[in-house]
């Protein structure tokens, strides 16, 4: 069973920031937090990952709570191409996916 929980769906306006939450309350000290996204009819795409500190890359930012039991993926300016299902995972491979959050972006 998936160890993470996420809202089923979220909606954002184009060019606005989006904050996608994830709860991973059973995370252990060595478990990484990864985020992937999946566009329709495609395999998942890596977005970002972290262990304890907040992380930034060209795609997004990852904010990790101090107790590591939750994290937030931040898309700074949502575009129509960001519409996808976003999955957070905890731990190492094999990755176990929850239901993810379906992000809709409105023009």
Partner 1 sequence: GAVVSQHPSRVICKSGTSVKIECRSLDFQATTMFWYRQFPKQSLMLMATSNEGSKATYEQGVEKDKFLINHASLTLSTLTVTSAHPEDSSFYICSARERTGWRTEAFFGQGTRLTVV
| φ, ψ at 87 (rounded to 5°) | -115, 135
Rounded to whole angstroms, how far apart are CA atoms 51 and 41? 30
86 binds partner 1 (CB under 8 A): no
101 binds partner 1 (CB under 8 A): no
> Using the rule CB under 8 A, which residue among 19, 76, 77, 99 binds partner 1?
99
Rounded to whole angstroms, how far apart are CA atoms 16 and 22? 20
> Using the rule CB under 8 A, which residue among 16, 17, 19, 46 binds partner 1?
46
106 binds partner 1 (CB under 8 A): no
| φ, ψ at 66 (rounded to 5°) | -60, -35
55 binds partner 1 (CB under 8 A): no
Rounded to whole angstroms, how far apart are CA atoms 59 and 84? 14
- DSSP letter (8 states) at residue 95: P
User: Cβ closer to partner 1: 75 or 88?
Assistant: 88
Q: Which residues of the shown chain bind partner 1 in the complex (CB under 8 A)? A: 2, 32, 34, 36, 41-46, 49, 87, 92-100
């Amino acid at each position: 069973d998936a160890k993470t929980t996420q809202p089923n769906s979220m909606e954002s306006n184009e060019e606005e920031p989006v904050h996608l939450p994830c709860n991973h309350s059973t995370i252990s000290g060595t478990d990484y937090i990864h985020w992937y996204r999946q566009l329709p009819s495609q395999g998942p795409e890596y977005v970002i990952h972290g262990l304890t500190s907040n992380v930034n890359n060209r795609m997004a930012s990852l904010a990790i709570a101090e107790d590591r039991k939750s994290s937030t993926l931040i898309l700074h300016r949502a575009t129509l191409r960001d519409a996808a299902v976003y999955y957070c995972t905890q731990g190492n491979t094999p990755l176990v996916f929850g239901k993810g959050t379906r992000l809709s972006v409105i023009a």
